[in-house]
Amino acid sequence: MSQMPNCPSCDSSYVYQDRERLSCPECAHEWTAGEGEKTDVVKCSNGNQLNSGDSVTVIRDLKVKGSSSVVKVGTRVKNIRVLDPEYVIDGHDIDCKIDGFGAMKLKSSVVKKN
């Protein structure tokens, strides 16, 4: 029997294979064999690694496309979601909700981690 890798989500060793996917019974995370290794790390403007659930601060004024509104410098954004590389469009690698503006995507180069 071949050695199964640990779960990339919870590091559990109780991983099993279901057809072409690997599954973790402890956290219910599913992935393919090559998907477990995370190669792309999203970093803020200061070089700190960003993770889903972090809070960030906008470091410059941002014009909102399709509106005359502007997201001001110093706007705090809570509970961001870092996107997988296949969902990144034009460098917008953070999905979030900003109070007063709603859901939008941001570039990691215009935010700093709190």
pLDDT for the residue numbered 1: 47
Residue 101 has pLDDT above 50, yes or no: yes
Residue 17 has pLDDT above 80, yes or no: yes
- Evaluated on CA atoms 110, 66, 86, 10, the torsion sign reads positive
What 3-state DSSP class applies to 108? Answer: helix
**Domains, in order of start, for the chain:** 1-37 (2.20.25.10), 56-113 (2.30.30.40)
- Segment 40-63 shows an average pLDDT of 93
pLDDT for the residue numbered 2: 61
pTM metric for this prediction: 0.64
Structural contact between residues 23 and 30, judged by C-beta atoms closer than 8 angstroms: yes
pLDDT for the residue numbered 98: 95
- Segment 92-97 shows an average pLDDT of 95
